[in-house]
Amino acid sequence: MFVKEVMVQNQVGLHARPATFFIQKANEYKSSVWVEKEDRRVNAKSLLGVLSLGIVGGTKIRIIADGADEQAAVDSLVALVDSGFSEQ
């Protein structure tokens, strides 16, 4: 299992468009991937799950992966969140 915490950079957070990019990136990996906000954890490959967290800009989230490519999955998702989904 590999875990990293990241601050959501873009102001609107993970609304529909960035969440879709996030999910598409998560689906590139074989590992199971989750997003955690406070005490809630959802499947990072599920649009409804990610949207249900209500992640807004300035929120700290944890990205967790478990599987053969877990570190690559987490690192690429952290990089995507850090980029602000190209909305700056």
Name the token pair of 29: 């990996």
Whole-angstrom CA distances from 55 to 34, 41, 42, 84 are 14, 12, 12, 13
Residues recognised as catalytic: 15
Name the token pair of 21: 């990019």
